[in-house]
Amino acid sequence: MAAEVVVETRNLTKVYRDFWGRRKKVALNALDLQIHKGEIFGLLGPNGSGKTTTIKLLLGLLFPTNGDAFVFGEPAAKVEKNERIGYLPEESYLYRFLNAEETLDFYGRLFDIPSDVRRKRAAELIELVDLARDKKRILREYSKGMRQRIGLAQALINDPDLVILDEPTSGLDPLGTRWMKDLILDLKRKGKTVLMCSHRLDDVQDVCDRIAILYGGDLQELGAVDRLVEDQKRLEIRASGVNLTDDLKRELTAVVEKHGGKLETFGHPTTTLEDLFLRIVEESKARPGRRFLPPAETATATTASS
Amino acid sequence: MSSLPLFGLLILDREHAAPVHFLGLFQAWLQDAGGFAALGLLAYIAYALRTPPEQAESAKHRSGVNSWMLLMAVLATLCYAGYFALILTGKGRDTVNLAQYMQAGPGTYVKHEPPQFATDYQPLVLTLGGLFALLGIGQPFAASLARIRFRRIWALTILGFKEAVRSRLFWVFLFFLIPVLFPTHWFYPGKAEDQLRTTIGVTGFVSMVLLLLSAGLLAAFSIPNDIKNQNIYTVLTKPVERFEIVLGRFFGYGFLLSIALVGMTTIGWLFIFSTKVDESAASESYLARDPVRGTLEFRSRRELRGERFEGTNVGREFDYRRYIAGDPSSSQRAVWHYASVPSSLGKNGDSVPCEFTFDIFRMTKGEENRGVDMTIRVVTWQTPQIPPRDQGDGTWRWADPARQKAYEDDLKKAVEEAGFAGQNPAAVVAGARPGTPAWKVVNDLAKKYGYYEFAGKEVFDYQFSKIAVPSGIFENAREGYPPKLGENEPTPPMVSVFVNCTTRGQMVGMAEGDLYFLRSEPVPSHWAFAQNYFKSAFGLWCRMMLVIGLAVTCSTYFAGVIGFLITAALYLGGYFSEHIADVAKGSYLGGPFKAMNQLLEAKAPTAQMGDTPVEKAALTLDTGFSWLVRRVINLIPDIDAFTWTSFLSEGFNIPPAYLLMNLAVLVGYLLPWFILAFYLMRSREVAA
Ligand SMILES: Nc1ncnc2c1ncn2[C@@H]1O[C@H](COP(=O)(O)OP(=O)(O)OP(=O)(O)O)[C@@H](O)[C@H]1O
Ligand SMILES: [Mg+2]
């Protein structure tokens, strides 16, 4: 049986309304997701596709218009679940008048962590995010990448079981990006569950186990990264010494079906995630209303576990 | 309306709440806060029931209705239904508190008294309904409070504190140094004896403005700023009860501004302490008098005809003072009654100071630099007095002529025995002062007969005067308890002070706060003043916390500017709350429905009403309207209750019990607001 479900959404829908209650924007439409313990789950989608909205709904910062969100089996509105969550916001929304040490101390207190543990953990985290030299400077003076680092430290202050990262690599230099990716993989190794969203598709491909692709609030694609980038519908034949004419194609097909010819490769090629992403976005644009339909076996799994 | 009594006398146009009023206040609180709670509870349940059932778990968790709330709502509804049934049948009316409103005719001065505990059916049922409503709406609030952790509140407190400090807010408080650096009499040249009053007034005013403005601005912008900068996302994704943010802000700014308040108060005190104060100012203000006050009643020989004398209205000062005519033949008396006598009164020494200040309204031009002559007669319940029958003589008689005769004989004898043989006994009594042999005679007689009179005391307009009253009076009063006169008669007072004026052509104005006994002879002292000074700062502290609480509540829903304006409006409205309450009591021209009816019928506003069905309906509607306004008025804080500046500058001790009640009233006022803040915060989509 599959691992424990850490995050679950059922028919999760969010409609932003204006002051008078009129609909402004359907930011998320009937999302059904399950994230299991120990996996790194990526949310992908173009700007404004509802990634951050999904995360805020899971954290209880927004209230669903319809449907439900559960974290550790509890409704997202419950405060207690936050004990086991670490969250790195899109922009590092921290108090700019505090320095790094004070920031970690402040958030540590919010977890009601006793002071000796708090101090020890803060020192470790500052070391981990490589801010030891700047720990006494106030955050207003920090660069974007430094703020991202202290933001991550803040998210880990309670040694969370579920880490939610909204664009963790934004603002980081290539070295920093590498470091962040290693860190995420490290979290997985420690048995943590990670939910992240990102635009940087190579990052996602490098670290994520499973991904969901959102477009316009609709779920477009869901599955394991290796399976998704594996293109089931095409066959690649590598040949030399001939020009690829229609005739040749027809004949090659015939030949391959029977025998003969010099077949150099034959199998399922992999594309880059970027190709997949662009293709899905193109298709979604071309066919409004396109939605991901879970294959039969996933569907039964969902109902069985709920 | 006594926000600027800085340059006058202590105007006691209200009775300050003391611990004895606690039950009455608590009942009124249950009724008023409970009314709002009932409305809130109904709205909440209606909202929760409207939430579609398929909108399952998270919505239910956010706005769930548990069986406790439903039960309380049902009980409260039953109580309110019962209350209206009682109103319709006219049964069980509040006889204790309502009488106050009913007696007041148009335009009369009504002294503001704290409500009393009423045991009639209507107030009891209303109280019970309020209690149930509060228990219902307060349950989720209390449950949330139970989850509050001190460490988190403290973290949020320190956060607010650091934020304000690092934004260099404290520099603002340097403005306080302006009045300190430049002596105030440069700006307000005044009488020498007002020098200290002016200084106290100005430093008090500056610190109040600085503190309250900072409090309102900081608190009103706090949560909106957090939401705007999205800092609140990071905080709310920690295991923080949302209400903890409200409390953290409240305590954080409270802590910060308390430091500012202590700083300014200390600097102000050092400043007052170090400046050379004019002798006359020091002797008036460096005091901390500890008065024992009675209730005032006006009497005259009209009583013999079964009429009442209410004192004359000369059309000054909102009718605060009533006047008696000065004339030897006038039987008009201002009488201060003491229903009880503190056991300490008259215990040390053989005299008790009795101090007074009156307003003298000259009908004819008197002699320059001469005051008017007053007679002060102090009697106990053992020596009741009755008005004179004879038109030519204004002197009041003893109810028991035999006792009066015995007194006069005894007096003659005692005067002779004390070695004043040959002298007029009345002159001996008149000349007796504490510490003289004659005083012993006076004191012994006062103890035996419960009677003492000081005739011919010269009194000047608005100046403190003092006489010594023999301690024997109080010993006499404590010999027993006044007998009840009849079934429906009130118990006679233990001690009464009769005051009249014998100078012709003068009117002397008096209000209840104008005469009192002093527990001890007040001695000008820096120490007593300092204590009083810091006690009056406590009143400012309460107002500051009130502003912070209000503004933080507003900030859970409104944008900063709006929240600030609402807070300012409520606070400033507090200065007029008594006035608004008067209007609500219908003590002016009647309510809006009567006025409308009169407008439509083109009648004079003073015309009698109540004949036609329409007029009757208008009166009923007005009663309902006045009831409603009285309840809604409670949204406005009673700012004057926290203002002690006049006590300080007039040299009256601020009783610690009053400050304790200030704290109770503050908590009572803020609690419903905090419950509102709890619900607003919980239902707020911070990221939307
Ligand atoms: N507070 C809001 N009020 C109204 N509409 C909003 C609000 N927040 C987001 N939206 C809309 O909801 C949609 C989804 O926004 P969301 O922030 O979830 O996108 P995203 O996938 O995180 O985008 P990005 O990659 O740019 O971060 C967008 O169209 C956005 O305009
Ligand atoms: Mg986003």
Residues A174-198 pLDDT 10s: 788 888 888 899 889 988 999 998 8
Statement: residue A305 has pLDDT above 50: no
What is the distance between the alpha carbons of residues B282 and B524, in angstroms, rounded to a whole number? 7
Sign of CA dihedral B2, B7, B8, B10: positive
Element (H, E) at B601: helix B592-601
Contact check, Cβ <8 Å, B238/A69:
no
Q: Does A60 touch chain B (CB under 8 A)?
A: yes
Closest chain B CA to residue A78: B61
- A62 vs B163, B240, B687: nearest CB: B687
Q: Which ligand is nearest to the CA of A47?
A: 1
What is the distance between the alpha carbons of residues A85 and A180, in angstroms, rounded to a whole number? 18
| % of chain A residues with pLDDT over 70 | 80
Contact check, Cβ <8 Å, B241/A79:
yes
Closest chain B CA to residue A25: B688
Give how far B162 is from chain A: nearest CA, Å.
8
The contacts of residue B138 (CB under 8 Å, 6+ apart) are B37, B675
What is the distance between the alpha carbons of residues B38 and B79, in angstroms, rounded to a whole number? 11
Statement: residue A306 has pLDDT above 80: no
What is the distance between the alpha carbons of residues A175 and A162, in angstroms, rounded to a whole number? 25
What is the distance between the alpha carbons of residues B458 and B367, in angstroms, rounded to a whole number? 13
What is the distance between the alpha carbons of residues B293 and B518, in angstroms, rounded to a whole number? 9
**Average pLDDT of the residues in A246-261:** 66
Interface of B with A in 43-82 (CB under 8 A): 54-62
Query: In the prediction, which pLDDT does B60 show?
Result: 61
Query: In the prediction, which pLDDT does A301 show?
Result: 40
Residues of A within 8 A of B229 (CB-CB) are 93
The contacts of residue B478 (CB under 8 Å, 6+ apart) are B341, B343, B494
**Ligand 2 centroid distance, CA of A271 (Å):** 26
Contact check, Cβ <8 Å, A62/B688:
yes
Question: Are the CB atoms for B6 and B196 separated by under 8 Å?
Answer: no
Instruction: State how far the alpha carbon of B468 is from the alpha carbons of A197, A256, B36, B442, B516, in Å.
Output: 87, 129, 52, 11, 12
| Strands annotated E in chain A | 5-17, 23-36, 40-44, 66-71, 74-75, 85-88, 162-166, 193-197, 210-215, 218-224, 236-237, 266-267
Residue minimizing CA distance to atom 29 of ligand 1: A48
What is the distance between the alpha carbons of residues B241 and A110, in angstroms, rounded to a whole number? 10
Query: In the prediction, which pLDDT does B542 show?
Result: 93
Q: Which ligand is nearest to the CA of A53?
A: 1
Query: In the prediction, which pLDDT does B544 show?
Result: 94
Indicate whether residue A22 lines ligand 1 (CB < 6 A).
Answer: no
Mutate to test the interface with A, among B61, B237, B249, B686 (most CBs of A within 10 A): B237
| Burial classification of residue A296, based on how many CB atoms lie within 10 Å of its CB (0-12 exposed, 13-18 middle, 19 or more buried) | exposed
Give how far A80 is from chain B: nearest CA, Å.
6
Query: In the prediction, which pLDDT does A89 show?
Result: 87
Element (H, E) at B645: helix B645-649
Q: Does B151 touch chain A (CB under 8 A)?
A: yes
Query: In the prediction, which pLDDT does B262 show?
Result: 92
Statement: residue A242 has pLDDT above 70: no
What is the distance between the alpha carbons of residues B17 and B372, in angstroms, rounded to a whole number? 35
Contact check, Cβ <8 Å, B239/A109:
no
Low-confidence ranges of chain B (pLDDT < 70): 1-14, 51-63, 95-112, 176, 178-194, 276-285, 315-319, 363-369, 578-612, 615-616, 618-620, 622-623, 626, 688
Statement: residue A47 has pLDDT above 90: no
Res. A220 pLDDT band, cuts 50 70 90: confident
How do residues B656-682 score in pLDDT, each as one tens digit? 888 888 899 899 999 999 999 998 888
| Beta bridge mates, B518 | B291
A5-230+271-305: CATH topology is Rossmann fold (3.40.50)
Query: In the prediction, which pLDDT does B292 show?
Result: 84
Element (H, E) at B152: helix B150-166
Domain boundaries, given as residue ranges, for chain A: 5-230+271-305, 236-269
- B166 vs A70, A93, A97: nearest CB: A97
Indicate whether residue A53 lines ligand 1 (CB < 6 A).
Answer: yes
Query: In the prediction, which pLDDT does A163 show?
Result: 93
- Top pLDDT among B592 and A262 is at B592
Contact check, Cβ <8 Å, A97/B237:
no
Query: Which of the given ranges, A23-32, A239-248, B421-430, B517-526, has the highest pLDDT on average?
Result: A23-32
Residues of A within 8 A of B152 (CB-CB) are 109-110, 112
Residues of B within 8 A of A61 (CB-CB) are 233, 236-237, 685-687
Domain boundaries, given as residue ranges, for chain B: 19-147, 148-289+524-590+635-688, 294-518
Q: Which atom of ligand 1 is nearest to the CA of A214?
A: 21
> How many beta carbons lie within 10 A of that of residue A54, not counting itself?
30
pTM surpassing 0.90? no
Residue minimizing CA distance to atom 24 of ligand 1: A47
How do residues A100-138 score in pLDDT, each as one tens digit? 889 999 999 888 888 888 899 999 999 888 888 888 888
Statement: residue A260 has pLDDT above 60: no
Question: Are the CB atoms for B581 and B559 separated by under 8 Å?
Answer: no
Indicate whether residue A9 lines ligand 1 (CB < 6 A).
Answer: no
What is the distance between the alpha carbons of residues B58 and A69, in angstroms, rounded to a whole number? 7
User: For chain A, what is the mean pLDDT?
Assistant: 80
Contact check, Cβ <8 Å, A110/B235:
yes
Give how far A240 is from chain B: nearest CA, Å.
59
Give how far B96 is from chain A: nearest CA, Å.
47
Contact check, Cβ <8 Å, B162/A98:
yes
Closest CA to B673 of B26, B33, B11, B27: B33
Q: Does A72 touch chain B (CB under 8 A)?
A: no
Q: Please tell me chain B's helix, strand, coil percentages from 3-state DSSP, rounded to the nearest 5.
A: 55, 10, 30
For B671, the token pair is 């609690």
State whether residue A14 is helix, strand or coil.
strand
Indicate whether residue A56 lines ligand 1 (CB < 6 A).
Answer: no
Closest chain B CA to residue A91: B230
Q: What is the DSSP letter of B238?
A: S
- The pick from A12, A17, A53, A277 for probing ligand 1's pocket by mutation, whose C-beta has the most ligand atoms within 8 angstroms, reads A53
Q: Does A30 touch chain B (CB under 8 A)?
A: no
